[in-house]
Amino acid sequence: MERLTESQQTAVEHQFGPLLVLAGPGSGKTRVITHRIARLVDRGVDPRRILAITFTNKAAREMSDRVRRLVPGRQMWISTFHKFCAYLLRRNARMIGLKSNFTIFSTSDQKSVLKQVLNDLDIDPVHYPPGNILNQISKAKNDLVSANQFARNFNESTGDHYQAVVARAFPEYQKLLLRSNAVDFDDLLMHVVQLLAENNELRAQIDEHYQYTLVDEYQDTNLAQYQLIRMLSHDQQNICATGDPDQSIYGWRGARIDNILRFERDYPESQLVRLQDNFRSTKSILKAADELIAHNVQRKPKELFTNNDVGKPVELHTYTDGREEADMVAASIKQLAESEGVNWSDVAIFYRVNALSRELELALTRWQIPYQVAAGVAFYERAEIKDMLSYLRLICNPDDYAAFARIVNRPTRGIGKQTQNKLRRWAAQNRWTMTEAIHHVEEHPTLNKRAKFALKKFGELMDHFSLADSGSMEQLLRSVIDRIGYLKGMKFTEADYEQTSNIEELLTVARQYDKENPDDPTLEGFLESTSLASDLDAIDSEAGQVTLMTMHAAKGLEFPHVFIIGVEQNLIPHERALKTNDASEYEEERRLLFVGITRAERGLVLTQTRQRAFRGKTLHTIPSDFVREMSLEQLNMASGFGTSTSSQYDRDWSRPKEPAHDWNELSQEITVDNLHLLGDKLDALKANQPSDLNSSSAEEPPLDPGSFHFDVG
């Protein structure tokens, strides 16, 4: 057992009844959850009767690993709300008109479905951007307002144009989802809550099954999540919630800080445990965090305390522009590594918006610092990956309209938009799915012979695939790639490199799935893991790389050294919060910076620039209001680093170039069977790079990695 303080011990030992652990960052809330689970199992509680909800997949995985170390060989439910709800929904799908193999739509699927709806309703998507409408729909769902309720609630005399459009589109969107046997992220929660609300027997059964419920980061639950927890800890109130109101940062996505504040009213029997000590950060870091958060008015004052050293002062650096900022951050990371022996993986760089990562990536490449960006979702948004997954989705769920629309003519099969639209309208008239319509295509009154033939061929192609026949997810994916001729014409060339290596990566993901699910591989299980992937998933804390992520993604994590860039007005606080002039949004921005700051263990550097290129314009910046609220060690560029580093900066930095691969050698045709060669070749190419970056020359940063020579083996 790891060490626990007295109050942590109290929370761990408490067994029956509701428990609220309210404490600041780094005080061991997550550790309490882990130990509590282990303790319950230790006491003889059947692990299957424990339900632990974490905020991210990564947190769930780490918690599972730690619990397994504390009590080996036990299986229990440690997952996110969405994953847990997907599980419940699959088991009870019929009750709300879905089938258990339903698809979980991504944001881009949602958009494509909504565009279809707007088209059918004759609503111009230029005036009513689908993204905005989807935001409204999401908001409604998080507040448990259904499509029909939304439409009913809409009042012509008080609602604006916009809401009128949402009120029309929302129910149609929902119908199309249902016809596609699909749900969006918010539906996962909303459907389950609705299901349990309407079926008390089922609710009681699940409540009874999960004897112990634990929820970390309770301050960021939205109404749907809150209701779910309430319903599952109604008869058996062994609920343990941990959280910190000062770290509530998802209000913009429907989280309600109120949920944690009313816990004691919701569960009058509850016991409250406060954890006082911060084990994570130095006194200097905690002081800055404390000074900052004290400016929030809508909060109960709470003191942050640590026995840790004072440590280095928190620094604020001001640079001319984003490029210089990125280079100097990279330079100081290099310096940390060289003079203090800090590992790359001990360093994280946070930013308010993803767009700020680009300049950093360039700088880190120039300085030959290995890094990873928390952007796992972006992988699944790539065209070739979406294509491949759409095939799998359509195999799994023939009703999936978004998948159908995406791949019916990709690669081209002579099935044009007009044919698709005709088929779609006909399918709707007959209450068929697209796949069913294809099976009846001969009877279509107006489609010509060629179109019918092409559609029939497509139907036959899709009928051909099955996971059972393929034997594994990887094999199924391979056979899809092969039979549809997706790689046809692609070569081992630079031009095709991105696409093909992404497909190779997806094969690796499939192989991983096969490995992790040897007994019960299912197509919906695999697809679910890709749909519920999040930016943090790919982050490997042992990869020996500097980590780049947004402050939102950083929640719950910790790093010895943290850099927060772009601490400027309009970034943090975000321009949206400044524009709306809404005090609670503004305070959420302050909490966000507070979360960022409190991730740091020993070193914390905030940076700002005088001007920043953003969205194609270069603008003068204004220092963040929040900066003045903390006593920081203010450093400018010249005094921040030794003059040698600064003067190096003055030299003409050349843009990092792609390594000079010799692609000619690889220019044979790609097939699904030799796809892996691409990876091998690239690994060989990479192996020739000076890979032991930590031990590279200490004197001068390599200014132009492009000039390094790579020999093809």
Annotated binding site: 23-30
Q: Using the rule CB under 6 A, give the single segment among 29-37, 140-148, 204-212, 679-687 that binds ligand ATP.
A: 29-37
Say which DSSP state 47 is in: G
Kindly give, in sequence order, each residue whose CB lies less than 8 Å from that of residue 644, ignoring residues fewer than 6 positions away: none
How many CB atoms within 10 Å of residue 643?
A: 9
Is 4 a binding residue for ligand ATP by CB under 6 A? The answer is yes
Is 29 a binding residue for ligand ATP by CB under 6 A? The answer is yes
Between residues 237 and 308, which has the closer beta carbon with respect to ligand ATP?
Answer: 308
Contact residue for ligand ATP among 11, 18, 26, 76 (CB under 6 A)? 26
Q: Two tokens at 179?
A: 């016809």
Q: How far apart are CA 61 and CA 83, in angstroms?
A: 12
8 A C-beta contact, residue 66 and residue 33: no
Is 219 a binding residue for Mg ion by CB under 5 A? The answer is no
Range 505-564, binding ligand ATP (CB under 6 A): 556, 558
Between residues 7 and 101, which has the closer beta carbon with respect to Mg ion?
Answer: 7
Range 520-579, binding Mg ion (CB under 5 A): 556
First-to-final CA distance of the chain: 50
217 annotated active-site: yes
Q: How far apart are CA 468 and CA 53, in angstroms?
A: 32
Range 26-85, binding Mg ion (CB under 5 A): 29-30
Q: How far apart are CA 141 and CA 614, in angstroms?
A: 33
Between residues 63 and 117, which has the closer beta carbon with respect to ligand ATP?
Answer: 63
Is residue 6 classed exposed, middle or buried when 0-12, 13-18 and 19+ CB atoms within 10 A define those classes?
Answer: exposed
8 A C-beta contact, residue 325 and residue 305: no
30 annotated active-site: yes
Q: How far apart are CA 653 and CA 639, in angstroms?
A: 21
Give residue 276's identity as a one-letter amino acid code.
Q
Q: How far apart are CA 401 and CA 182, in angstroms?
A: 9
Residue of 313, 307, 305, 303 lying closest to 246 (CA atoms): 303
Is 663 a binding residue for ligand ATP by CB under 6 A? The answer is no
Q: Two tokens at 361?
A: 């990536």
Smallest separation (angstroms) from ligand ATP to the CB of 361: 26
Is 8 a binding residue for ligand ATP by CB under 6 A? The answer is yes
Contact residue for ligand ATP among 31, 35, 317, 406 (CB under 6 A)? 31
Contact residue for ligand ATP among 7, 27, 116, 608 (CB under 6 A)? 27
- Look at residue 4 and give the partner it binds from Mg ion, ligand ATP, none, a contact being a CB closer than 5 to 8 Å depending on partner kind: ligand ATP
**Which residue out of 599, 602, 612, 681 is catalytically annotated?**
599
Vertex 89: Cα angle to 83 and 91 (nearest 5): 110
8 A C-beta contact, residue 26 and residue 277: no
Smallest separation (angstroms) from Mg ion to the CB of 597: 15
Strand partners, 215: 53, 241
Residue of 320, 321, 283 lying closest to 305 (CA atoms): 283
Between residues 279 and 305, which has the closer beta carbon with respect to ligand ATP?
Answer: 279
Q: Using the rule CB under 6 A, give the single segment among 2-10, 376-384, 389-397, 636-644 that binds ligand ATP.
A: 2-10
580 annotated active-site: no
Is 28 a binding residue for ligand ATP by CB under 6 A? The answer is yes
Backbone angles phi, psi at 87, to 5 degrees: -65, -50
Is 602 a binding residue for ligand ATP by CB under 6 A? The answer is no
User: What is the number of the residue whose Cβ is closest to Mg ion?
Assistant: 30
247 annotated active-site: yes
Binding mask 233-272 for ligand ATP (x = CB under 6 A): -----------x--x-------------------------
Contact residue for ligand ATP among 7, 20, 22, 30 (CB under 6 A)? 30
Give residue 588's identity as a one-letter amino acid code.
E
617 annotated active-site: no
Smallest separation (angstroms) from ligand ATP to the CB of 464: 49
42 annotated active-site: no
Q: Which amino acids are annotated as binding site for ATP, given as ranges?
A: 23-30
Is 284 a binding residue for Mg ion by CB under 5 A? The answer is no
**Which residue out of 56, 237, 247, 547 is catalytically annotated?**
247
Q: How far apart are CA 377 and CA 58, in angstroms?
A: 13
3-state SS assignment for residue 36: helix
Interface ranges with Mg ion (CB under 5 A): 29-30, 556
Interface ranges with ligand ATP (CB under 6 A): 3-5, 8, 23, 25-31, 244, 247, 279-280, 556, 558
Residues assigned a catalytic role: 29-30, 216-217, 247, 599
